[in-house]
Structure 1
């Protein structure tokens, strides 16, 4: 055997040893899975009770998923590709959905698909991009509107009235208030454990709130919490009847959530900084609280003083110059007009003549 043949044989033996020691391949038939396809509705039926708690939000998500399934014509899929998502968003926009509405619907779909992906039901996910939202006008109640609305609610239900006062002074969500139990309420503070963001928070109570959480003496067992006698549906029915009575029935922004906006607006207008308002409301991000930042106008009041400074025209030009505030004030008479002071030369001439 030639030297070349011997070297080739040695190399072959070396490769065999390397491949057998370093590249061991195991085959397991247990990991082979049948590729199945699902509709959006089938995935929602499988995971809705795991992903969403019972309540209005779950009801809204059910409506969103139903509309998405209808747009997709009940198509079954094992992978949700980017073109399908882009076509879905385009169809929603053609139907008149705003970017904010599209974002809410896509958030529900994204949550559902991510769960299905983790469970192995689908094997690819598209990239969900948040649509740019325009900052809309935030409606909140004026003091007189609150008084009229709350009076109408109280005439229908004392429990609904107590809940309304609690909502506007704490700024909590309706579901957070209804989920309270007595252990969540201390002497001066209330803690919210069941929240939309999943983060608990504790805030101090106003005098009004302390009064309304006290249940009137009644016979029988005390309920589990201060507002557990009411359901969301019952409260909304009372709310809608009361707002129609006081002339707000046509305003579709006057919903129970307006009480949260009202609380936030009053905090900002009262000079509370945005960070503290974020903590009070339990917002997950500061950008959510920044929707109320335009109401913090106290720091801009000094700008008006500068703009309202009296102005005068120079003697040799038509250009206006700002008078120093001290000079302007000294020249103002009781009537608000500015006196013309004689020049020193004119004053000396006048004294000689006298």
Structure 2
């Protein structure tokens, strides 16, 4: 970026605000100025382009602000590997888990790649995903579902309808709440606002179809009368009632896992399960693969097979 500064006066004569904002490379016959930005300034420049308003952008704003703070507002024209390693080390020292570090690095990577593409910075580090424990996949069996859903229905018919829809479509809670009436047509539901930014359409089961066939009553969609916070509160109360209150893994997202497990156990191939759930890659879908336990049953027959005795000659 050239700013027309003549090389007659050296950088030592420039105002402090210029020296703080630019790295200087000069020679004959031109003086070249390379702009420097802090992470916060890059976010101000590209944040509205990269992230739509909402909870995710709110979290990203916090992440980038924290990373900028850890770098003490340092400006740069090239984000080096040493800077990245410094950030990861400081986050770990603060007690951040690898999963949390990965979320923050995903936001940082997206911002830096945009800045690099636009020519704002001229070098990028190599981002390597931190190892995360696979963790337990919690899903409901049919008896648990019946008891929990009955307790939910006693508290709210709308929350019960939403629970049915979540377990039979495998959609995320936010995807269901954002559904409009036009998104449910021809026995199918279309999800346009998704975590992966990829829309998808799935056919509905009979009971999923029945719980969206309600009077509109001025609402924008079949579950628009609910909010995440109120649904989670009803969910937690129902958990306590049926004796599952101590199960920290039993959150509304477990209904998505339940849908995935039933598809896999029913013999649906992983590619179709991936498309149904809207996973960007097969990695998450593969976490459900071990639930197809029947596929391993023939192995027992092989292992229990007795060796044949040789006949005496």
**What SS is found at the alignment partner of 2:201?**
strand
Mapped contact 1:271–1:298 kept (Cα < 8 A) = no
Residue matched to 1:249: 245
Mapped contact 1:103–1:130 kept (Cα < 8 A) = yes
Structure 2 unmatched runs, 5+: 6-30
Counterparts of 1:233 and 1:174 in 2: how far apart (Å)?
A: 11
Q: Kindly tell me the number of residue pairs found equivalent between the two proteins.
A: 284
Residue matched to 2:55: 56
**TM-aligned CA deviation for residue 177 of structure 1:** 1.2
User: Residue 274 of structure 1: which of 267, 270, 273 is its match?
Assistant: 270
Counterparts of 1:163 and 1:50 in 2: how far apart (Å)?
A: 32
Counterparts of 2:46 and 2:247 in 1: how far apart (Å)?
A: 36
Counterparts of 2:113 and 2:32 in 1: how far apart (Å)?
A: 19
RMSD of aligned alpha carbons? 2.9
Residue matched to 1:292: 288
Mapped contact 1:171–1:263 kept (Cα < 8 A) = yes
Counterparts of 2:243 and 2:103 in 1: how far apart (Å)?
A: 31
Mapped contact 2:173–2:228 kept (Cα < 8 A) = yes
**What SS is found at the alignment partner of 1:190?**
strand
Q: Deviations over 1:304-353 (max 9, x none)?
A: 223344x5xxxxxxxxx458xxxxxxxxxxxxxxxxxxxxxxxxxxxxxx
**What SS is found at the alignment partner of 1:238?**
helix
**TM-aligned CA deviation for residue 107 of structure 1:** 0.6
Residue matched to 1:136: 135
Q: Deviations over 1:279-317 (max 9, x none)?
A: 1111122222111111112222112223344x5xxxxxx
Mapped contact 1:141–1:258 kept (Cα < 8 A) = yes
**What SS is found at the alignment partner of 1:41?**
helix
Mapped contact 1:265–1:292 kept (Cα < 8 A) = yes
Residue matched to 1:150: 149
Residue matched to 2:21: none
The 3 A distance-change label for structure 1 pair 59 and 234 is: farther
Counterparts of 1:69 and 1:178 in 2: how far apart (Å)?
A: 34
Residue matched to 1:336: none
CA radius of gyration, larger in: 1
Counterparts of 2:56 and 2:304 in 1: how far apart (Å)?
A: 50
**What SS is found at the alignment partner of 1:59?**
helix
Moved over 6 A (4+): none
Structure 1 unmatched runs, 5+: 1-26, 312-320, 324-354
The 3 A distance-change label for structure 1 pair 177 and 67 is: same
Counterparts of 2:222 and 2:233 in 1: how far apart (Å)?
A: 19
Mapped contact 2:3–2:33 kept (Cα < 8 A) = no
The 3 A distance-change label for structure 1 pair 103 and 149 is: same
The 3 A distance-change label for structure 1 pair 41 and 254 is: farther
The 3 A distance-change label for structure 1 pair 55 and 244 is: farther
The 3 A distance-change label for structure 1 pair 86 and 305 is: same
- Greater RCO (Cα-Cα under 8 Å, separation 6 or more): 2
